[in-house]
Amino acid sequence: MNVVLITGAHGGIGLETSRLFKERGYVVIGTDLLDSTDSTFDKFFKGSVTDENMWKEIHDYIATKHGQLDVLVNIAGRNYFDQIENAQLSEWRDMFEVNVIGMVASIKYLKSLLKKSEHGAIVNMSSISADIGSVGYAAYCATKGAVDSLTKSLALELAPEIRVNAIAPGWIETPFTVEGLEKSNDPAAYRKQVESMHALERVGLPGEIAKSIFWISSAESSFMTGSIVVVDGGYIINN
């Protein structure tokens, strides 16, 4: 049976992705800062992606129980809003810790198990924010730019055994987005504006990102590595 490890598995995109892999017959191991008792998970680790001890524990669990890992999906992420004059350096540091160094840690500790799979694949969560500027969201945009660069370099380092790709969504309907919309003075008007920025005139659904993640991790995309795949309902072409 194929085994997948998903970070940020309690979140909007993480849970939908976990459910899709489960439907497709995978053993699903989840991890998140927040605990989960969802029956989707064969095993769940509560903790921060920045905690090396947690990654050692996850490595040892998978090595003992399954002997190999087929897919690693790095979804965990956070956001931080402030314009540069108010920037809290501790927040900036934590943004990089969670959004970038958390991925470095998962890949460092699980690489040897992915190498044991005949089709090891890593999927990193980027964002169209890596390619567009966004007032007040410089920290978020910068971390996603770093995710893209990390993805390309590690795709080279880990080839040919392990493919490494990233998915870059537009706005997706999750608690993450709702929190962003609610920072506006008029969330309803802001939502309409955000929807109209996508050529498809709506925000995306977590399930639509889950399907892209599944596809880029599967044999259907076997000649792809180092790619940043944009899944944005036409946001970038429309702006």
Ligand X SMILES: NC(=O)c1ccc[n+]([C@@H]2O[C@H](COP(=O)([O-])OP(=O)(O)OC[C@H]3O[C@@H](n4cnc5c(N)ncnc54)[C@H](O)[C@@H]3O)[C@@H](O)[C@H]2O)c1
Active site (catalytic) residues: 140
Provide the minimum distance between the beta carbon of 16 and ligand X in the complex, in angstroms, as a whole number: 8
Nearer to ligand X (CB atom), residue 174 or residue 221: 174
Q: Strand (E) positions, the chain?
A: 3-7, 27-32, 43-46, 71-74, 121-125, 163-169, 228-231
| 175 binding ligand X? (CB under 6 A) | yes
* 58 in contact with ligand X (CB under 6 A): no
Instruction: Work out which of 2, 3, 4, 8 binds ligand X, going by CB under 6 A.
Output: 8
Taking the complex as a whole, how short is the minimal distance between the CB of residue 62 and ligand X, in angstroms? 17
Q: Is 14 in the site for ligand X (CB under 6 A)?
A: yes
Distance CA 72, CA 3 (A): 9
Find the binding residues for ligand X in span 82-121 (CB under 6 A).
Answer: 98
Dihedral (C-alpha) 179, 7, 166, 194: value to the nearest 10 degrees? -10
Rounded CA-CA distance 167/77 in Å is 13
- Please provide residue 26's backbone torsions phi and psi, each rounded to the nearest 5 degrees: -80, 155
Looking at 33, 63, 199, 224, which residue binds ligand X (CB under 6 A)? 33
- Closest separation in Å from C-beta 205 to ligand X: 10
- Residue 198 CB, nearest distance to ligand X (Å)? 11
Helix (H, G, I), strand (E, B) or coil at 9: coil
Per CB under 6 A, does 213 bind ligand X?
A: no
**Which of these, 34, 24, 115, 106, lies nearest to 72 by C-alpha position?**
106
Which member of 78, 116, 191, 202 binds ligand X (CB under 6 A)? 78
Binding status of residue 81 toward ligand X by CB under 6 A: no
CA distance 43 to 21: 14
- Residue 98 to residue 8: CA distance in whole angstroms: 11
Q: Which residues bind ligand X (CB under 6 A)?
A: 8, 10-14, 32-34, 48-50, 75-78, 98, 125, 127, 169, 171-172, 174-177
